[in-house]
Amino acid sequence: MKNTTPTSTQSSLFKRLLEATEIDDIQCRYVAFKLAENNVKTISIEQTETLKYTLKTDNGSYKVEATDLPLPITKVVSL
C-alpha cells in the first residue's frame, strides 16, 4: 500500500494516517503530532509489514511501528 497526499496541519496528517493505515486512532494522533512538530507538509505512506510503515515526507523519512493493544477505556460519559 502506497499513498501520497499533501498535508499541512496535524488534523489533516491524523486523518491521512487513519485512512491509509491499520493504526488505531490514538496512535495515529501521536504520530501526527510528532510529524507536525517537524513541520511535515507532504506524506507518502508505505506499509512494510503488519502495523509497520515507512513514512516519506518533505522533511525526511520516518519508520513507524504500532502495536495492536486493546484499550482499557471503553466509555467516557459526561454526568
Q: Tell me, yes or no, whether 74 lies in a domain.
A: no
Say if CB 44 and CB 2 are below 8 A apart: yes
Identify the pLDDT of residue 31.
93
pLDDT tens track for 27-72: 999 999 999 989 898 899 999 999 999 999 999 999 999 988 776 6
Q: Tell me, yes or no, whether 72 lies in a domain.
A: no
Identify the pLDDT of residue 20.
95
Query: What is the separation of C-alpha 38 from the centre of its chain, rounded to a whole number of angstroms?
Result: 14
Distances (CA, A) of 51 to 12, 13, 15, 64, 67: 20, 17, 17, 8, 7
Identify the pLDDT of residue 28.
92
Structural domain containing residue 6:
2-65
Q: Tell me, yes or no, whether 41 lies in a domain.
A: yes
Neighbours of 38 (CB within 10 A): 11
Q: Tell me, yes or no, whether 61 lies in a domain.
A: yes
Domain count within the chain: 1
Q: Tell me, yes or no, whether 79 lies in a domain.
A: no
Q: Tell me, yes or no, whether 77 lies in a domain.
A: no
